[in-house]
Amino acid sequence: MGEEAKHPIIIGLTGNIGSGKSTVAALLREMGYPVLDADALAERARELRKGELRRLFPEAFRGEELDRRALARLVFADPKRLQALEALIHPEVRRLLAEELARLEAPLVFLEIPLLFEKGWEERLHGVVLVAAPLMERVRRVMARSGLSPEEVLARERAMWPEEEKRGRATWVVENTGSLEELREKVRAVLKEIRARHGLS
């Protein structure tokens, strides 16, 4: 290629449902770092593949519109349907991600992706930050923000690897159990380590 030096350092940002990874992503953006959102890329991918989605999941549509909550109920209740959805959407997400990375000129980029370990994304990254919090605290947060029932939250949790397993695989763990200011300080500390590890001044 001859332009390896121009390739950014890509750090994964993950955490199970309700961990606060989106809050950490917002803090990183506030500090001037680009954060690509895999969920937003997946939403674009679903729109691009709407025709195939309608054929696979007709009951998740209300007229022309995809009901994302209905789709989630379908796929999180049936591993085979989840696999079919991922087989359709994930290649499109990877293509969109490559396009976004090609547009950026930052030396350090974060990729926020919930199913990072489950789908083997760590092999494509220079390190992974895991945002962690106790399960019941995470369930409470999700119920408060989304109106999902405890059963719906736990169904999504079960589609992910246990947090404890991810702790053993992550490069850095950010414990999100205190105030926003405490979380901001923990993010700053991790950033300092990342920049030192990768020789970024």
Superfamily of domain covering 1-34+107-194 = P-loop containing nucleotide triphosphate hydrolases (3.40.50.300)
Averaged confidence pLDDT in the chain: 92
pLDDT tens column, 70-96:
999 899 889 999 999 999 998 999 899
Query: Does the structure show a pLDDT above 80 at 2?
Result: no
pLDDT of residue 163: 95
* Global pTM exceeds 0.85: no
Q: What is the pLDDT of residues 10-66, one digit of tens each?
A: 999 999 999 999 999 999 999 999 999 998 999 999 999 999 999 999 999 998 899
Domain residue ranges of the chain, discontinuous segments joined by +: 1-34+107-194, 45-103
pLDDT at 126 over 50: yes
pLDDT at 47: 93
Nearest partner of 201 among 9, 36, 61, 3, judged by Cα: 9
For 183-192, the CB contacts below 8 A with 24+ separation are 183/20, 183/23, 183/24, 183/27, 184/27, 187/24, 187/27, 187/28, 187/31, 188/31, 190/129, 191/28, 191/31, 191/33
Q: What is the mean pLDDT of residues 102-122?
A: 91
Phi and psi at residue 168, in whole multiples of 5°? -70, -20
